[in-house]
Chain A
Amino acid sequence: MTFEIIDKKCIVRIPREAKSMGIMRLPERCASAEIHVEAGAEAVAAGVLADSSVEVVLGEGAKFELLRVIDAGRDGSCASQLVVTQSKGSSFRSFYFSQGGRMVKDDLSVTLEGEGAEAFINGLHDLSGDAVAESHTRVDHQAPSTTSSQLYKSVVRDHAHSIFWGRIMVRREAQLTSAYQLNKNMILGAAGRVDTRPQLEIFADDVKCSHGAATGQMDDDQLFYLQARGIPPAMAVDLLVRGFIQDVVGQIVHHELRAEVGHRLGLL
């Protein structure tokens, strides 16, 4: 692996066929990074970021998992960006985690350029107070037999506000594509707000695509079930919120990354 910093930009290169088992840490508050995972290489990376722009290029058959924890501070604002380009047969997993801030915005764009490339794009907004978090995702299926799957969840307490815009494009060449997107939001209390806008643009005819969004309060039947087993209401709510979150955190494959997010959420 090579690692250099040019004009404050951190450039990482994982050479061909390299299999690195450890987690590569992006420098704290790194504002600009370029990560090249070359053909056949496998890597895992994580960063605690604020204003940032990260570019990822995956070579043929490369595998990469990236965790971005966005920390803008309680009243801070930041804009982050992730741009991913994937070659044939490559596999990418992204997890975005934010507890929001005055205005915390993320733009994520994945282009599946090579046949058979797959992307798993997941995220969580865990918001309270007046926090705002806005996530935009854009997945562009340009090649045949590509796969994308997105799960974004938010927990919205107090006056917090979560925004999700997800866009999937399937080009005419991208036959046999499978694209899936789900945005699920849990609003606790009466003052929270969620805006969700899933968009599908399909130009190929032999594809499997689905998207959906669900926003709701705590489920009364679930709450009653836990209470009927002697669990006090506050603890029952806590269990249900943790369950809701666990479902998306469980999408993280690398166990240390999963534990890291779990730790930040107090799940462990």
Chain B
Amino acid sequence: MLKIKDLYASVNGNHILKGLNLEVNAGEVHAIMGPNGSGKSTFSKVIAGHPQYAIDSGSVQLEINGQMTDIKAMSPDERAREGFFLAFQYPVEIPGVPTSEFLRASYNAVCRHHGLEELDPIDFDAFIRTRMEVLQMDDKYIDRAVNVDFSGGEKKRNEILQMAVLNPRMAILDETDSGLDVDSMKIVAHGVNALRTKRNAMIVITHYQRLLDYIKPDIVHILHNGRIIKTGGPGLALEVENKGYDWLIT
């Protein structure tokens, strides 16, 4: 689903990713853990195509129509329409744009690209409400401006709602657990788990093992200094929880 080879990337001239390799297959959930400054957020922004993050060398391939395709030259919106999704660590507030209108514009942009029928506001409203129920979100959110006056937990639920609307094949969840209390985290994890299938894949980026109790990964990677220094099973996350990162780094 996603194949990253020897990826070097920088932001504002600072080299952050230094030879990152990663392969994610359909049906898998990977976790990327790492100390602060290890490059976790840079990784997610680079894969999403943020214009301030430059790929210096290496390749990023996404499976598109059954073919592994290099996505380096694709804009962020093209990547999204081809089934890539990033749940933001810090969701952006957009005053004046109602959440319902934003979600529908997003959904219809993807439908249009794939030659599928677009939904009018009434049909979309019915569609979105079923998705909101899973995340236990109040109806009032869809009439409010995107993320404006949302609490931290509400913003994170809104990210997963967007993921549920777009139903991506490859999703990266960037510290979706940060700022969530345990109850909110369970709801968000439930929403994420409901989207897991054999045909899609996810990468969960997190500081803490806590989230991985609820979203169970198949493979755990440790990121340090811009590269993956250790890969293991779910047990690796527990080991990090108990021992910290130092034993891996030195």
Contact = CB atoms under 8 A, between A and B. Distances in A.
A243 B166 contact: no
A100 B113 CA distance: 38
Contacts of A227: 49, 75-77, 80
Contacts of B50: 224
A226 B106 CA distance: 8
Contact of B75 (A233, A239, A242, A245): A233
A222 B80 contact: no
Contacts of A232: 77, 109
Contacts, number: 80
A222 B105 contact: no
Nearest to A245: B96
A244 interface: yes
A227 B109 CA distance: 10
A225 B109 contact: no
B110 interface: yes
A246 B94 contact: no
B162 A247 contact: no
A239 B48 contact: no
Interface string A231-244: 11101100110111
Interface string B48-87: 1111100000000000000000000001110011000110
15 contacts: A220-B51, A222-B94, A224-B51, A224-B76, A224-B92, A226-B105, A227-B75, A228-B76, A228-B88, A229-B77, A229-B105, A232-B109, A233-B75, A239-B102, A244-B96
Interface of B: 48-52, 75-77, 80-81, 85-86, 88, 91-92, 94-97, 101-102, 105-106, 109-110, 113, 145, 162, 166
Interface of A: 220-222, 224-233, 235-236, 239-240, 242-247, 250
